[in-house]
């Protein structure tokens, strides 16, 4: 086994998956439905946040480069990662450092070869994450949807609320007589802020999310000079920290010490099973409880393990299905699932058992000797 596939089924109730610009949605042309979703980037951020809490460690620092034009207006430039796999989020989340070369002024005091070295363009360093993370989307277009609602910010019952009114020119009205007339005409409407329903979509339904763990790359950092993952300084640092040189199907690499793997594997299992979206707004919070988790080394079987099936008797109706005894798939069903899916194997410790399964699979892989000698 070189890849572990994990499928997670969650229930969301009247919530949002993000704050910026309201709920994200996409259109399903087959069933003519608008489906809410949480992006893979948001799921990844949630997993890394959970990892940080479990390990009680701060993620790697990030440098944001900004630039000013000739008029002094600010613009965005590069975002530079530290590219150091000794940080948990770098090793497991990957990195990319595409730094622009600095403008170099000709230095008459430098030798020609030194000037060429100084002028050399900085190389891009990148590491693809060993975790492939999908978006969390509806289990089926008929099992998830969005509802729009109007909301308001109302403080009409607070006696100390202050109200100011601008005239057509944008100036505040100061005449008390004029203000009294406006209060008499509009009353409590002056202390309410209405928010358009079109901007307030709420997600409800059953949602599925997939993760693939590439064990070959999980704790290995490539030493490929053509597509470098680290620079020479970081390489020396890792060797001094006990990272062992080895080889996998991608070429020579450095493998994290056993102590590092032993520390990170249980935390990663915890984060994959227990992650939750906490960026949704307080007024639309949902537990987004996990109903089932399936684990396999076969992508097709993991897709079949949690799925939906159209009703044969009724149009536009689908039923969620969790395969509890599918060969090659380990299935873990929580007590909460019984309210939405017909199941027989739900247990109170389902998620703990799923974590232990992931720990066992990740621990059993031989990271240091991936290429077997004949």
Q: Which two tokens stand for residue 124?
A: 């891009």
Tell me the DSSP string of 66-108. EEE-TT--EEEEEEEE---TTSHHHHHH-EEE-PPPPP----T
User: How does residue 352 score in pLDDT terms, banded at 50, 70 and 90?
Assistant: very high
**Residue 228 has what pLDDT?**
87
pLDDT at 153: 62
Supply φ then ψ for residue 38, to 5 degrees. -115, 130
In this prediction, residue 227 carries a pLDDT of 86
Per-residue model confidence (pLDDT) at position 354: 97
Residue 32: helix, strand or coil by DSSP? coil
Evaluate whether 90 touches 264 at the Cβ level (below 8 Å). no
Structural contact between residues 85 and 63, judged by C-beta atoms closer than 8 angstroms: no
pLDDT tens across 26-78, in order? 899 999 999 999 999 999 999 999 999 999 999 888 877 777 777 777 766 66
**pLDDT surpasses 90 at 301:** yes
Say if residue 149's pLDDT is above 90.
no
Environment class of 103 (CB within 10 Å of its CB; exposed 0-12, middle 13-18, buried 19+): exposed
pLDDT of residue 266: 97
Chain mean pLDDT for the chain = 85
Alpha-carbon distance of 137 to 40, in angstroms, equals 10
- As a whole number, mean pLDDT of residues 317-323 equals 95
Q: For 196-212, what is the HEC assignment?
A: CHHHCEEEEEEEEEEEE
**Lowest-confidence segment of 129-143, 184-198, 237-251 by average pLDDT:** 184-198
292 with 345: CB under 8 angstroms?
no
What's the pLDDT at 111?
Answer: 55
Cα torsion angle, 85, 276, 333, 306, sign: negative
Tally of CB atoms within 10 A around 107: 10
Interval 103-137: pLDDT, tens:
544 455 555 545 444 434 567 888 999 999 999 99
């Amino acid at each position: 086994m070189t890849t572990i596939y994990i499928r997670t089924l969650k229930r969301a109730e009247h919530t949002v998956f993000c704050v910026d610009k309201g709920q994200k949605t996409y259109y399903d042309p087959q069933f003519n439905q608008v489906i809410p979703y949480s992006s893979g980037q948001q799921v990844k951020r949630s997993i890394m946040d959970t990892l940080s809490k479990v390990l009680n460690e701060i993620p790697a620092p990030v440098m944001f480069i900004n630039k000013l034009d000739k008029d002094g207006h600010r613009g965005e430039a590069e975002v530079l990662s530290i590219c150091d796999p000794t940080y948990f989020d770098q090793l497991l989340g990957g990195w990319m450092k595409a730094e622009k070369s600095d403008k170099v002024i000709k230095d008459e005091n430098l030798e020609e070869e030194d000037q060429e070295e100084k002028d050399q363009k900085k190389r891009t360093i990148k590491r693809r994450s060993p975790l492939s993370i999908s978006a969390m989307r509806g289990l089926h277009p008929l099992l998830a949807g969005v509802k729009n609602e109007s909301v308001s910010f109302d403080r009409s019952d607070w006696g100390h609320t202050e109200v100011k009114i601008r005239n057509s020119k944008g100036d505040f009205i100061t005449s008390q007589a004029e203000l009294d007339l406006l209060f008499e005409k509009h009353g409590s409407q002056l202390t309410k802020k209405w928010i358009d329903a079109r901007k307030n979509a709420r997600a409800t339904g059953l949602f599925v999310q997939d993760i693939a763990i590439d064990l070959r790359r999980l704790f290995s950092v490539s030493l490929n000079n053509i597509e470098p993952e680290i620079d020479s300084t970081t390489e020396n640092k890792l060797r001094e920290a006990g990272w062992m040189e080895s080889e996998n199907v991608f070429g020579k690499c450095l493998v994290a010490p056993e102590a590092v793997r032993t520390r990170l594997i249980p935390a990663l299992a915890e984060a994959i099973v227990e992650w939750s979206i906490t960026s949704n707004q307080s007024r639309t919070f949902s537990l987004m409880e996990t109903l089932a988790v399936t684990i396999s080394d076969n992508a097709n079987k993991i897709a079949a393990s949690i799925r939906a099936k159209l009703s044969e008797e009724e149009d536009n109706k689908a039923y969620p299905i969790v395969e509890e005894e599918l060969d090659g798939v380990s299935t873990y069903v929580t007590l909460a699932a019984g309210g939405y899916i017909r199941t027989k194997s739900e247990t109170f410790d389902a998620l703990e058992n799923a974590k232990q399964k992931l720990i066992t699979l990740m621990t059993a892989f031989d990271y240091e000797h991936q290429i077997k000698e004949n």
